[in-house]
Amino acid sequence: MENLIEIRKEYNSLDKLCNYLKTASTFECSKEYDIWEQRVDNNGQMAQCIVVKKSGMHAIKVFFANESTVKINYIIPNKVMHAYFGKSVKARRNIMEIVAGVIKQAVLAAPQKKVFEELEKIVEKAAA
């Protein structure tokens, strides 16, 4: 689950947007390195993103796709839970991993969508 949202000019950096999200919501909001996609910034360093966390199992990450648009992705913030329940990026998977992935997605899809929409509304408050 992901979405692109155009942000107002006063929230044009991760720090400003993170400070706004901390005051606009009751959820935990922090600026972290993007370990979920391993993106790099202009300097070749690991890129940062904002993580808005509802629980150890549900969160979104927010990062700038360009200077006025943020991209929102659903993530599992807990690294251990992400290893078990996150999307597999392996090139080759055996049949058990494929079946487990289908079952996992069927069970988790509805709660993840609900949380994504809930957290997305918080970021939309900073929209242009």
User: What range does the domain containing 114 cover?
Assistant: 2-124
* pLDDT at 103 exceeding the cut of 80: no
First-to-last C-alpha distance (Å) of the chain: 22
pTM: predicted TM-score of the whole model, two decimal places: 0.77
Domain count, the chain: 1
SS3 letters across 22-80: HHHCCCEEEEEECCCCCCECCCCCECEEEEEECCCCCEEEEEECCCCEEEEEEECCCHH
Segment 6-25 shows an average pLDDT of 90
Regarding predicted confidence, which is higher, 95 or 70?
Answer: 70
Cross-strand bridge partners of residue 5: 70
Range ranked top by mean pLDDT from 11-20, 78-87, 89-98, 114-123: 11-20
Regarding predicted confidence, which is higher, 101 or 89?
Answer: 101
CB 88 within 8 Å of CB 101: yes
pLDDT band at 19 (very low <50, low <70, confident <90, very high): very high
Secondary structure element (H or E) that encloses residue 83, with its range: helix 79-85
